[in-house]
Amino acid sequence: MSKELKDIDIKVIKFLLSAGVYSDLAIVKNLGITYEELEESYTRLLKEGYLESYEEYKKREQEDCHSGSNCGECSKNDGTCRACCSNNKQEYSDVKVITWKAIDRFQE
């Protein structure tokens, strides 16, 4: 276990890995923690690379798309990636994305 992660951080990651999407309220209620504890956990998990912001995720996906590494999603006709190159401008500032590092380490 990383020195920087606490038991609560591991519980949060394992809970998030148990399904697709959870609200902060659902996490707080299911784990019996406070919003403050959850925010502190998010901060540690972001710092350690187990979570990333949705902005960072989309930026990385755009880079992968344009470099051709996401070729399964690219159109053969015009060379653009349908899935990652959309210009969807919805608000996702509070969304956290689980990284492969978290999946590799904590997926059961």
User: What is the reported pTM?
Assistant: 0.64
pLDDT digits over 33-84, tens only?
Answer: 999 999 999 999 999 999 998 888 888 888 776 665 544 544 444 444 555 4
Structural domains in the chain, CATH included, are 7-106 (1.10.10)
**12 CB burial (10 A radius; 0-12, 13-18, 19+):** buried
Binning pLDDT at 50, 70 and 90, where does residue 10 land?
Answer: very high
